Structure 1
Amino acid sequence: MVLKIKHFVVFVTFSFLYSCGEQQPNLQNIDAKQIIIDSSLATTESIEILVKPYRERIDQVLDSTLAYAPYPISKTDGELNTTAGNLMADIVLSEANPIFKSRTGHTIDLVLLNHGGIRSLISKGNVSSRTAYEVMPFENSIVVAELKGSSILKLASYLRDSGRPHPIAGLQLILDSENEIQSISIQGKPLQEDKIYYVATSNYLVNGGDSMVFFEDALNTTNTDYLIRNAMIDYFKKTDTLKPVVDNRFIKLD
């Protein structure tokens, strides 16, 4: 009797597995529709009640005053360098340098960011964490690339030919009246083609973004794991008044 029951169980099990193997579901149809998210959508009161304290706390943190801008800081107020670009590059240099030095023993020589990465001006008035999110909404981190002086020459040529005031710091580039490079200085010293320089940039640019292909020459790269936006917020917290100016870090002689 026990043997018959075992046979029956085995028979039922194989029958079930066979039937499952034979069932091949076929996709019959795909339906889709576009739902426009705008003011016409009704709010759900229960969700609003749930979200409200979190929204209020986030707004409080983002809108707390960290610094003050006595005038608008823009990426369009200069031909070859701008107040916004100079501020951004100077922030990366000052805030990322201690991190890079503690990890490698080296210091950052210069900074290069991209003009298009600055997404908003800093209006006159109070500056907050929300300001940093508006200026730099991307999750770009600061990466330091080791470049020989010969690659810095390519970098300088790129700046000359780009037609845009890309943010730089630690570097002075002077063009003559014919748009030829007259001089390149790094940390106040003339460029040496056989020297290694440590260039802080973003993870986007170090991978060739904005056609900055000279970063392919990097002998090594170090990701600081430090977001540019967070560097801005840290800088704002310890700076009472933001006063960047258009200066002589990149100029063309008459």
Structure 2
Amino acid sequence: MKTKYLISCLALLAIISCKTPLSVANVQTQKNISISKELPEDAIFTKVIEPYKVELEGKMNKLISHTSVDLTKQGDNSNLGNLLADYTFEGADAWGKKNGLPNGVDAAVINIGGIRTNIGAGDILTKHVYEVMPFENELIIVKMKGTDLQGLFDYYLKTQVNNPVSHFYIETENGMNVKELVNGKEIEPTKIYYIATSDYLAMGGDNMSFFEKGELIPTGIKLRDLFLEKFIANPEVKSPTDIRLNFKNKKNKTDE
């Protein structure tokens, strides 16, 4: 026992003796450098990043589509909002049919706040899609009961916010839901619905707590990548003009 104790002590001393003694760095106060337009560029740094800068600018300025009209996010049925909602639906529908949902998805909803800017009439470049959707949101499919989906219609009745939808028709008047349609049909309480949206909304963002009652199905698809793919596939954009949100006698404008 004494031998083991002695060996342990010697080992501990050896470890302690091998440690490098701490030293205090000599810190000296230097003059602050003001960052401004007059600050000269670092020639070496500029030379190193130049090829990457040229490559990035080339990708961002790539022509991917064209629109003959301004695509805007303003209004209850904004053409840009409805277009991106349709792209969300189409992407989720195609993914679902390849991954165990033979009938695809039923509808889609996105938030107008996630659309950061408009796209003017003319050529659409890659950078325009990045400006519209700068976030890394994922496309999510939410499996919901018809009874829980009622929460979505109640949300629009309460907020009357112009969050874009696809394959929904929501009509309100005088504080009441007048029509609530999915693919042109009324909700069936016992039916299972599959709603495409973003991970942000699926987790209850923008107070969409009704999604929390559903089952989330991740797709692994980034919404921005999906939108880029859709614009590339449509050289001439045809913006939707149909009515999806019909808030009659709307008093308070809540457009983003």
TM-score strictly above 0.5: yes
Distance 1:139 1:37, change over 3 A: farther
Aligned positions of 1:1-20 closer than 5 A = 15-19=13-17
> Of residues 124, 130, 155 in structure 1, which corresponds to 2:127?
130
5+ residue gaps in structure 1? 1-9
| 2:73 matched residue in structure 1 | 75
User: Following superposition of structure 1 onto structure 2, how do residues 61-140 of structure 1 map, counting pairs within 5 Å?
Assistant: 61-76=59-74, 78=75, 80-106=76-102, 107-140=104-137
Q: Aligned in 2, Cα 1:137/1:36: closer, same or farther, shift over 3 Å?
A: farther
Distance 1:34 1:188, change over 3 A: farther
Taking the TM superposition and a 5 Å limit, the aligned residue runs for 1:33-48 are: 39-48=37-46
What is the CA distance between 1:105 and its match in structure 2? 2.5
2:207 aligned partner: 211
TM-score, normalised to structure 2's length? Answer: 0.83
**Is 1:234 matched with 2:234?**
no
Q: 2:183 aligns with which of 184, 187, 205?
A: 187
Q: What residue in structure 2 maps to residue 3 of structure 1? A: none
Deviation at 1:18, TM superposition (A): 3.2
CA distance in 1: counterparts of 2:69 and 2:246, whole angstroms: 23
Assess, with a 3 A threshold, how the Cα gap between structure 1 residues 56 and 192 changes in structure 2: closer, same or farther.
same
- Residue 45 (structure 2) pairs with residue 50 (structure 1): no
Question: Which whole-Å deviations, capped at 9, do the CAs of 1:138-161 have from their partners, x for residues lacking one?
Answer: 000100000111122111111222
The alignment partner of 2:60 has SS state of: helix
Q: Aligned-residue CA RMSD in angstroms?
A: 2.9
Matches of 1:36 and 1:81, distance apart in 2 = 48
What aligned pairs does 1:142-153 form with structure 2 within 5 A after superposition? Answer: 142-153=139-150
In the other structure, the counterpart of 1:243 is: 238
- Please state how far the C-alpha of 1:243 moved relative to its aligned partner: 2.9
**What secondary structure does 2:190 align onto?**
coil
In the other structure, the counterpart of 2:153 is 156
Decide which of 170, 173, 189 is 1:173's aligned counterpart: 170
Q: Secondary structure at the match of 2:140?
A: strand
SS in 2 for 1:104: coil
Q: Which runs of 5+ in 2 are unaligned?
A: 1-7, 250-256
- The CA deviation at 1:190 is 1.5
Aligned pair count?
238
Amino acid at match of 1:217: K
Contact 1:73 1:124 in 2 (8 A): yes
- After superposition, the C-alpha distances for 1:25-69 in whole angstroms (9 at most, x for unaligned) are 99xx9x9x9987653543211121111112111211221111112
Is the 1:64–1:128 contact (alpha carbons within 8 Å) kept by the matching residues of 2?
yes
Change (3 A) 1:14 1:150: closer
